[in-house]
Structure 1
Amino acid sequence: MRRILLTVLLLVGLFPLSAAARTLLVVGDSLSSAYGMEVQSGWVVLLGMRLKQENLDYRIVNASISGDTTANGLVRLPKLLAQHKPTLVIIELGGNDGLRGLSLEQMKHNISMMVTKAKRPGASVLLVGVQLPPNYGKTYTERFQAIYREIAAEQGVALVPSLLEGIATRNDLMQPDRIHASARAQPRMLENVWAHLRHLLESEPRSVPADRYVGGK
């Protein structure tokens, strides 16, 4: 038995176990939770497939909830960070704040706090902007869109200007509610994200000590 154990230890020393996959956490709303379609059709699942194709060792945790607001996301985030210890966090929230006419300044505060909490342990952050239907008025929609640019600049994080770029104005790529993208649009949504995400993935991975996540506050 001792000889077998010694042999196993030697083999482990010569051929160490591969490092565990890094975790990519997605915190979003219905646009990222495959609303109105099979989950497998959503852009987050397609992202997982793309990562495998690119031989990038990431485990995706999709913590997106349909109807979620930035306030709810801010409350949920600490537990998600403590539980999954991601090295990269994608934040896609704000659409429901806008659709409900909630305070845009409060929305900005909530997202900014989420970015700060995600960055604190050393994780990279990709902020994903969304856009509102034009019937909400030019002033409101322009201010809404500007919030994402301001946060990205202030926090120094990467930004996808709009998840629905090239999609929102096309009836054939939107669901009948004109708010949610269809299954057909999901590959385009992935490309909108990938154009900015790939630069983060190509950068040197940063080690995030587990104890930095304890408490998550």
Structure 2
Amino acid sequence: MSAAEADLPPIMGPERRILAVGDSLFAGYGLTANEAYPTRLEAALRAKGINARVTNAGVSGDTSAAGAQRFAFVLDAQNPKPDLVIVEFGGNDILRGISPAETRKNIDAMLAEATKRGVKVVLMGMLAPPNLGADFRKQFEPIYPELAKKHGATLVPFFLDGLVGKPELVQADNIHPNAKGVEEIVKRTAGTVGEAVK
């Protein structure tokens, strides 16, 4: 055991199973499996003494419609059922020009399915880029806080918070976080996820 590991709190309690369902931001596009957000989140939660096991169900390129289509199937495949599901969609909807009403409908369906099964949810919010105009932003950005409130989910207002305007934290495509960017996201979200899963 390293000195750093010796300083960590002991991992306590029953295993907390977390299912991370999302797009390339969870799948770890351009990263190794060990650098993807769900893997780094699990390590951060365990460093906090939470006996977390995070399953990565991220699929690169998934829209909210694709997520909604596979959501029940992915939940069915978990045995035992997860204590918490993290839902992260919307980026590909923006890139493909899908209407905010459609995005809302799909995320609403996923949260309703989780609620029906008695699984707690952390919803990762997204913001619309300014170049899409005020009208699009007015329709898109309230989706996340409104649906979190409707379904009693925990909200992370903006999943990529801390990366905007910091090219050293993103890959060359200016969209996906690099390994350092993932660590920044984990730093900003692990506390929220940890509280939700307790």
Aligned to 1:191: 187
Q: CA deviation at 1:114?
A: 0.2
Partner Cα separation in structure 1 for residue 167 and residue 130 of structure 2: 14
Aligned to 1:22: 16
Aligned to 2:58: 64
Instruction: Determine helix, strand or coil for the equivalent of 2:86.
Output: strand
Q: Are 1:145 and 2:173 an aligned pair?
A: no
Partner Cα separation in structure 1 for residue 163 and residue 14 of structure 2: 36
- Taking structure 2 as the reference length, what is the TM-score of the superposition? 0.86
- Ranges in structure 1 where 5+ consecutive residues have no aligned partner: 1-18, 203-217
- Taking structure 1 as the reference length, what is the TM-score of the superposition? 0.79
Cα RMSD of the aligned pairs, angstroms, is: 1.7
Q: Are 1:35 and 2:29 an aligned pair?
A: yes
Q: Are 1:164 and 2:164 an aligned pair?
A: no
Instruction: Determine helix, strand or coil for the equivalent of 1:32.
Output: helix
* Higher Rg: 1
2:84–2:120 contact (8 Å) kept in structure 1:
yes
* Percentage identity across paired residues of the two chains: 35
Partner Cα separation in structure 1 for residue 173 and residue 53 of structure 2: 32
- What amino acid is the match of 1:100? R
Q: Structure 1's 184 and 55: CA in aligned 2 closer, same or farther, altered over 3 A?
A: same
Q: Are 1:155 and 2:140 an aligned pair?
A: no
Q: CA deviation at 1:142?
A: 4.0
- What amino acid is the match of 1:163? F
Aligned to 1:49: 43
1:133–1:179 contact (8 Å) kept in structure 2:
no
Give aligned pairs, total.
Answer: 184
Q: Structure 1's 63 and 155: CA in aligned 2 closer, same or farther, altered over 3 A?
A: same
Cα deviation digits, residues 69-110 of structure 1 (max 9, x gap):
111111111111111021100000111111111011111011
- What amino acid is the match of 1:147? I
Aligned to 2:7: none
Q: CA deviation at 1:58?
A: 2.6
- What amino acid is the match of 2:69? V
1:30–1:67 contact (8 Å) kept in structure 2:
yes
Higher strand share: 2
Aligned to 2:110: 114
Q: CA deviation at 1:55?
A: 2.9
- What amino acid is the match of 2:168? D
- What amino acid is the match of 2:53? R
